[in-house]
């Protein structure tokens, strides 16, 4: 993990950067408290001149859209906002179709970017829109749940659900940038924080005993916020980045990251 300056104007001291190493499709995951304030500047540094379609849900919009929009405007970025209802039911064909049409109606081109501002549902849905419109647009993830920050926003899995099961329609489409503001998690219901924490613990269980032990000593501080939370998110993202760099399309080792998911998804379907 390094503190890599993205541009001279950006504050790098407060934030950690994890690189996902995928050759010409490599990208940074930037992590830290208060990152939303400079999201616009960071997006502009990675995608200069791009127009944006910000896809978010009603719940996240109420809490964070004003701050996010302000930072986009301050960076001189041109954007449209597309909202979907909160919840898993939004990962369906009808909304996917509507969003694709809305992005085209806004006249965004392939080099423009779809931005996911939300949790795993918004990230998966927006990512699949980005993968599909004009055969693949740029994509930026701004995950707002712990689960999305440590798992679903990283690694390029995108998609929607089918009546045959969860995540059965989609594409691998890597983002160009992931911005994980850990202060946003202060507004997350405890139940959702715990769901994300299970993914953090997963990285310890998958072969990183020192991290698992560290979590046993520091979990309260991770829940409370502060540097331990940033550390837990960064170490989780590094673990995931290592696996994705080795097995992007889940031909082998990446399947380990589904620990708990397969059972959980079946339970949800039932």
What is the contact surface with ligand GLY in residues (CB under 6 A)? 151, 155, 157, 254, 257-258
Instruction: Find the shortest distance in angstroms from Cβ 258 to ligand GLY.
Output: 5
Instruction: Find the shortest distance in angstroms from Cβ 199 to ligand GLY.
Output: 8
Residue 194's closest CA among 217, 223, 218, 215? 223
Nearer to ligand GLY by Cβ, of 40 and 159: the residue is 159
Nearer to ligand GLY by Cβ, of 56 and 152: the residue is 152
Chain position whose Cβ is nearest to ligand GLY: 257
Instruction: Find the shortest distance in angstroms from Cβ 194 to ligand GLY.
Output: 17
Instruction: Find the shortest distance in angstroms from Cβ 256 to ligand GLY.
Output: 9
Nearer to ligand GLY by Cβ, of 112 and 151: the residue is 151
Instruction: Find the shortest distance in angstroms from Cβ 151 to ligand GLY.
Output: 5
Sign, Cα dihedral of 215, 219, 222, 227: negative
Q: Exposed e or buried b for every residue in 172-200, given b needs 16+ CB within 10 A?
A: ebbbbbbbbbbebbeebeeebbebbbbbb
Instruction: Find the shortest distance in angstroms from Cβ 155 to ligand GLY.
Output: 4
Nearer to ligand GLY by Cβ, of 56 and 158: the residue is 158
Nearer to ligand GLY by Cβ, of 7 and 266: the residue is 266
Nearer to ligand GLY by Cβ, of 2 and 258: the residue is 258
């Amino acid at each position: 993990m390094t503190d890599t300056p993205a541009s001279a104007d950006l504050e790098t001291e407060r934030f950690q950067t994890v690189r996902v190493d995928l050759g010409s499709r490599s990208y940074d995951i930037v992590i830290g408290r208060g990152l939303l304030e400079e999201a616009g500047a960071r997006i502009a540094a990675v995608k200069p001149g791009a127009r944006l379609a910000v896809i978010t849900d009603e719940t996240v919009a109420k809490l964070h859209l004003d701050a996010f929009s302000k930072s986009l405007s301050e960076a001189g970025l041109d954007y449209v906002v597309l909202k979907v209802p909160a919840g898993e039911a939004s990962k369906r064909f009808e909304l996917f179709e509507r969003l694709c049409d809305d992005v085209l109606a806004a006249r965004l081109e392939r080099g423009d970017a779809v931005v996911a501002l939300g949790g795993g549902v918004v990230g998966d849905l927006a990512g699949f829109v980005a993968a599909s419109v004009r055969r693949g647009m740029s994509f930026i993830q701004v995950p707002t749940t712990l689960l999305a920050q440590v798992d679903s926003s990283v690694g390029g899995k995108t998609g929607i659900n089918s009546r045959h099961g969860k995540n059965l329609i989609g594409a691998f489409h890597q983002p160009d940038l992931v911005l994980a503001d850990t202060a946003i998690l202060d507004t997350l219901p405890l139940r959702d924080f715990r769901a994300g924490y299970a993914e953090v613990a997963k990285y310890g269980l998958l072969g990183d005993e020192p991290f698992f032990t560290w979590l046993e000593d520091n979990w309260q501080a991770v829940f409370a916020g502060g540097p331990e939370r940033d550390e837990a998110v960064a170490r989780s993202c590094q673990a995931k980045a290592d696996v994705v760099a080795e097995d992007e399309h889940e031909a082998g080792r990446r399947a380990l990251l589904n620990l708990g998911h397969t059972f959980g998804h079946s339970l949800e379907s039932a």
